[in-house]
Chain A
Amino acid sequence: GAVVSQHPSRVICKSGTSVKIECRSLDFQATTMFWYRQFPKQSLMLMATSNEGSKATYEQGVEKDKFLINHASLTLSTLTVTSAHPEDSSFYICSARTQGAGNSPLHFGNGTRLTVT
């Protein structure tokens, strides 16, 4: 089945530094990938839609200059958390869909747990 790989699975960084999270579709091409954030005991919240070869679309309230998204190829999207602060500590999850009908399932990475100290 379709596999989405996310790296790293866990990262600890100091306040003020930047962290890059990679999301790869291993056995399929994804023109669109989605980035979510999940705080403890809460549901997933959509942050942005990443489109290959064009600018990402951000949800209301998500700062595009803080959460930089690059989708340079059909199998790779990256999310960079710039100038991280402790309140950015969260579980970040990417997802992608195989091509085909709009009702085909989304495949999710296993998430990246970011801790900012």
Chain B
Amino acid sequence: DAKTTQPNSMESNEEEPVHLPCNHSTISGTDYIHWYRQLPSQGPEYVIHGLTSNVNNRMASLAIAEDRKSSTLILHRATLRDAAVYYCILRNNSGNTPLVFGKGTRLSVIA
């Protein structure tokens, strides 16, 4: 699987937007960009995924660079419940493959 690079940690103030970056310079044409997050003592939770176009859902937005070598997960208004480790993962559209987790970004939200 192509690798991703994320900052180890980030901090945000409550109610402010958060932009979580991810670099994936070796992404292939069939790799989807997935984001998951893991709250303390819980299993990971799906956040969003995309291929080429920007994506929005009720949790977040995903902005994908035109060359697809990087992407940004956007939380529009951080809350204390958004404090988690966020994982950016590339996943090939080829069937029942598992997710390979990197170290992710630990997001702290300050009240």
CB distance from A22 to the nearest CB of B (A): 14
Chain A interface category by residue count: 20 to 34
5 pairs, A vs B, C-beta closer than 8 Å: A6-B43, A36-B101, A46-B98, A102-B96, A103-B51
Residues of A within 8 A of B104 (CB): 43
A85 within 8 A of B: no
Q: Do A102 and B94 have beta carbons less than 8 Å apart?
A: yes
Residues of chain B at interface, number, CB under 8 A: 27
Number of A-B contacts (CB under 8 A): 61
Q: Do A108 and B43 have beta carbons less than 8 Å apart?
A: yes
What is B's interface to A at a CB cutoff of 8 Å? 32, 34, 36, 38, 41-46, 49, 51, 87, 91-104
A85–B49 Cα gap in the complex (Å)? Answer: 38
A93 within 8 A of B: yes
User: Chain A at the B interface: mostly helix, strand, loop or mixed?
Assistant: strand
Residue of B nearest to A94 (CB): B43
What is A's interface to B at a CB cutoff of 8 Å? 4, 6, 31-32, 34, 36, 43-46, 49, 91, 93, 95, 97, 101-103, 105-111, 113
Closest 5 pairs (CB-CB, A-B): A108-B43, A105-B46, A32-B96, A102-B93, A103-B32
Q: Do A46 and B42 have beta carbons less than 8 Å apart?
A: no
A95–B96 Cα gap in the complex (Å)? Answer: 12
Known: A105-B34, A105-B49. A44 touches B96 (CB 8 A): no
Residues of A within 8 A of B44 (CB): 44, 93, 95, 108
